[in-house]
């Protein structure tokens, strides 16, 4: 198959139903279930899939005994199809916004630290300027959020770009790094001591992030570099309300950026132990898609994030 043949198919014959089918196949792993979700018959779905594979000259899905699984080519098409459909939805939303004044929906993803400071302040700014813009906030890991951004599910992410293969598709505005401190309740037995050693701290019950997270890996590396085993007593959770409740009602300790628990610190309910943990995360920043025009509402959210960041982070420099 020549490139011109593929180009002609994409420009002349690729329909929205092809894109919908690809997304549903990726979601369900079954032609029958994908057909039902896409309002197609199963023979019709099989025919559309055959047209795509014939035109592109590659196998998009492996036929298995109990469904289908995307090949590498299929995974690329599924992601691009999802982004294309999201773009069409965004275009419709943008037209409606222009017709009725600035409104609509903005999807924002954030990692932990900015979720408690930067993002709420930016939303407050946005609402003071454009009250009718609806903001949906998701909190997760950078990897998960960036994948949702690439797929068109989110407009903006405040996090990190960890997948170098995706870097060419993304813009990144660095905001700040996250030095982590050991946080405990204000009347913790170790609070105020200036002679703490890591070996003594290891005897405490630690609240740890899930295995495989960047912070967990860096804490593990810290323990190993000191010739220490992992803490004997641990609780594993990424959920900040759960972390806060555990800290306030026990002698547990956790490594967090102070921004994440600033309201508790300001209220005198928690304190940071006077111990230099020596652990920080890579800079987080505002992540957007290259060659993608933000809707007016999403652009207003971006400006609010930049304004909030300028007031919170001394080293942040707005793009020209």
Structure tokens at 311: 């007031």
User: Do 291 and 252 share a structural domain?
Assistant: no
Instruction: Write out the residue range of the structural domain in which residue 300 sits.
Output: 99-176+282-312
User: Do 250 and 287 share a structural domain?
Assistant: no
Tell me: the pLDDT tens digits for 127-167? 998 888 899 999 988 889 999 999 889 999 999 888 877 88
Whether residue 8 is contained in a domain is answered as yes
Helices (H) and strands (E) in the chain, counts: 13, 11
User: Do 230 and 307 share a structural domain?
Assistant: no
Tell me: the pLDDT tens digits for 73-125? 989 889 888 888 888 887 777 676 655 546 678 999 998 888 888 999 999 99
Domain count, the chain: 3
Q: In sequence order, which residues have a C-beta less than 8 Å from that of residue 180 and are 6 or more positions away?
A: 215, 255, 256, 257, 277, 279, 280, 281
Beta partners for residue 134, in sequence order: 105
Q: How many CA atoms lie within 13 A of 316 on its CB side?
A: 21
What average pLDDT does the chain have?
86
Q: What is the pTM of this model?
A: 0.57
CA distance 35 to 249: 51
Structure tokens at 234: 């641990």
Q: What is the pLDDT of residue 103?
A: 67
């Amino acid at each position: 198959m020549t490139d011109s043949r593929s180009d002609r198919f994409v420009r002349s014959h690729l329909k929205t139903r092809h894109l919908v089918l690809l997304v549903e196949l990726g979601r369900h792993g079954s032609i029958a279930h994908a057909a039902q979700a896409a309002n197609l018959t199963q023979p019709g779905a099989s025919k559309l899939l055959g047209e795509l594979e014939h035109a592109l000259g590659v196998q998009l899905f492996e036929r298995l005994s109990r469904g289908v699984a995307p090949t590498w080519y299929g995974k690329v098409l599924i992601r691009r199809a999802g982004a294309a459909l999201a773009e069409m939805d965004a275009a419709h939303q943008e037209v409606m916004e222009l017709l009725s004044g600035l409104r609509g929906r903005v999807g924002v993803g954030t990692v932990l630290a900015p979720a408690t400071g930067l993002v709420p302040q930016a939303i407050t700014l946005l609402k003071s300027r454009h009250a009718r813009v609806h903001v949906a906030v998701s909190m997760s890991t950078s990897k998960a959020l960036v994948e949702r951004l690439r797929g068109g599910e989110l407009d903006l992410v405040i996090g990190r770009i960890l997948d170098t293969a995706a870097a060419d598709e993304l813009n990144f505005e660095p905001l700040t790094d996250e030095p982590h401190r050991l946080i405990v309740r204000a009347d913790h037995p170790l609070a105020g001591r200036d002679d703490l050693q890591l070996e003594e701290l290891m005897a405490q019950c630690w609240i740890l992030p899930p295995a495989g997270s960047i912070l967990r890996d860096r804490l593990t590396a810290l323990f190993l570099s000191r010739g220490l085993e992992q803490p004997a007593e641990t609780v594993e959770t990424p959920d900040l309300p759960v972390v806060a409740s555990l800290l306030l009602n026990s002698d547990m300790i956790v490594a967090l950026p102070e921004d994440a628990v600033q309201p508790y610190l300001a209220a005198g309910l928690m304190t940071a132990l006077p111990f230099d943990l020596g652990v920080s995360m890579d800079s987080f920043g505002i992540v957007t898609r290259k060659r993608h025009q933000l809707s007016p509402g999403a652009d207003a959210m971006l400006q609010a994030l930049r304004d909030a960041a300028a007031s919170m982070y001394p080293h942040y420099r707005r793009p020209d």
